[in-house]
């Protein structure tokens, strides 16, 4: 039996309409995401100056070989990136769980506090970094003033590796903890209250309920936040760049003690104008981000929650 025009249109709509709905996303991604990614891969195979693109020379994998075998600054930057990842990801998740647990209780002005925890995330990263750089100032910083008040000595936060990483991690944790806390809070509110009532009848206190019920049931959200935090910290740029403003900002300190991989990319591409080398760094950073994010996801899934 031959189909009518209305039936054919309905069948076409059922079969092809979903692809038409998602097509704009893939079109925009191809223009603003996929093309720059592939073009960066092509540029990474060239000896190319940012100010003179016409004089580019194809050199194959030489940039990658140089990075992986003969560039200690690159490995120093990767080490700093991994260190800052540890300094920021774990505290973000732990603090976010604690804040979400507090906001999930019956408090006066809960809406105000829930909105307040998101304010650091919507604040300009430049403003946050400048303020924190002043707080961690060696001579007139509020942090050193507090240390001296309790009898401790001043710390030159920018001079050492551990101290500078602590200061930069404080900026990241302060800015992003509220974001993860709201994700956890929304998931906590979806946990049935009957589960907690049964636990109370069995004699479980609040601390046991949190670790034996709340945290295990937030496992998917914890994995999501871990992946998001990992991906964000692997491309950390603004905080270390503005932590030491001036002509040497791109080096991440006098001894490159807090230069991240993204900051090293910035130095090569926009301070030394070696666009081919910077593109190779970008691709290696992409590969490292995918690898570490995948490992973080697998590690988070394997954590025992029982």
Which of residues 294 and 10 earns the better pLDDT score?
Answer: 294
Per-residue model confidence as pLDDT tens digits over 204-225:
888 888 888 888 888 888 888 8
What's this model's pTM, rounded to 2 decimal places?
Answer: 0.84
State yes or no: pLDDT of 107 exceeds 80: no
pLDDT of residue 303: 56
- Mean pLDDT within 18-27: 85
Per-residue model confidence as pLDDT tens digits over 240-276:
998 887 767 888 888 899 999 999 999 999 989 999 9
Which of residues 57 and 108 earns the better pLDDT score?
Answer: 57
State yes or no: pLDDT of 21 exceeds 90: no
Interatomic CA distance for residues 268 and 288, integer angstroms: 18
User: Using N-to-C axis directions, what is the helix angle for 219-234 and 275-302, rounded to 10°?
Assistant: 160
Interatomic CA distance for residues 236 and 260, integer angstroms: 7
Name the pLDDT band for 305 (thresholds 50, 70, 90): very low
Q: How many other CB atoms are found less than 10 A from the CB of residue 276? A: 24
**Phi-psi category of 77—alpha, beta or left, where left has phi over 0 and alpha has psi -120 to 50?**
alpha
% of the chain beyond a pLDDT of 70: 94
Q: What is the average pLDDT score of the chain?
A: 86
- Quick one: tokens of 101? 């647990």
pLDDT of residue 76: 94
pLDDT of residue 206: 83
pLDDT of residue 16: 79
Per-residue model confidence as pLDDT tens digits over 40-53:
999 999 999 888 87
**Distance from first CA to last CA of the chain, Å, rounded?**
60
pLDDT of residue 193: 85
Q: Which residues contact 259 (CB under 8 A, 6 or more apart)?
A: 73, 76, 77, 80, 240, 250, 251, 252, 253, 267
pLDDT of residue 288: 86
Name the pLDDT band for 306 (thresholds 50, 70, 90): very low
Distances 108 to 105, 112, 141, 183 between C-alpha atoms, Å: 10, 9, 34, 21
Of the candidate ranges 20-29, 220-229, 256-265, 288-297, the one whose mean pLDDT is the lowest: 288-297
For residues 233 and 81, the answer to whether their CB atoms sit within 8 Å is yes
Name the pLDDT band for 304 (thresholds 50, 70, 90): very low
Name the pLDDT band for 160 (thresholds 50, 70, 90): confident
Highest mean predicted confidence (pLDDT) among 4-18, 83-97, 214-228: 83-97
Comparing CA positions, the residue from 155, 16, 144, 172 lying closest to residue 84 is 172
- Mean pLDDT within 60-83: 93
Per-residue model confidence as pLDDT tens digits over 223-239:
888 888 888 888 899 89
- Quick one: tokens of 205? 């206190």
Quickly tell me which residue has 């001079």 as its tokens.
159
């Amino acid at each position: 039996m031959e189909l009518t025009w209305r039936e054919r249109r309905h069948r076409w709509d059922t079969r092809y309409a979903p692809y038409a709905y998602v097509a704009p996303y893939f079109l925009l991604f191809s223009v603003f995401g996929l093309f720059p990614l592939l073009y960066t891969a092509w540029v990474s195979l060239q000896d190319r100056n940012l100010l003179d693109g016409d004089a580019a020379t194809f050199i194959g994998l030489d940039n990658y070989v140089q990075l992986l075998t003969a560039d200690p600054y690159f490995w120093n930057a990767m080490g700093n990136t991994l260190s800052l990842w540890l300094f920021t990801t774990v505290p973000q998740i732990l603090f976010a769980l604690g804040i979400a647990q507090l906001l999930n209780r019956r408090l006066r002005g809960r809406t105000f506090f829930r909105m307040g925890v998101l304010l650091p995330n919507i604040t300009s990263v430049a403003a946050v970094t400048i303020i924190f750089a002043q707080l961690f100032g060696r001579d007139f910083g509020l942090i050193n003033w507090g240390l001296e008040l309790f009898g401790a000595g001043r710390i030159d936060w920018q001079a050492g590796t551990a101290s500078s990483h602590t200061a930069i991690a404080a900026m990241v944790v302060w800015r992003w903890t509220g974001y993860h806390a709201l994700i956890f809070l929304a998931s906590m509110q979806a946990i049935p209250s009957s589960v907690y009532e049964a636990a109370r009848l069995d004699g479980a206190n609040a601390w046991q309920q949190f670790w034996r019920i709340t945290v295990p049931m937030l496992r998917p959200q914890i994995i999501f936040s871990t992946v998001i935090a990992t991906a964000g910290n692997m491309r950390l740029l603004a905080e270390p760049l503005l932590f030491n403003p001036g002509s040497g900002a791109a080096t991440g300190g006098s001894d490159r003690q807090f230069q991240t991989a993204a900051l090293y990319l910035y130095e090569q591409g926009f301070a030394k104008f070696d666009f081919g080398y910077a593109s190779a760094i970008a691709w290696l950073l992409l590969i490292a981000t995918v690898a570490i994010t995948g490992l973080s996801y697998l590690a988070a899934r394997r954590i025992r929650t029982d």
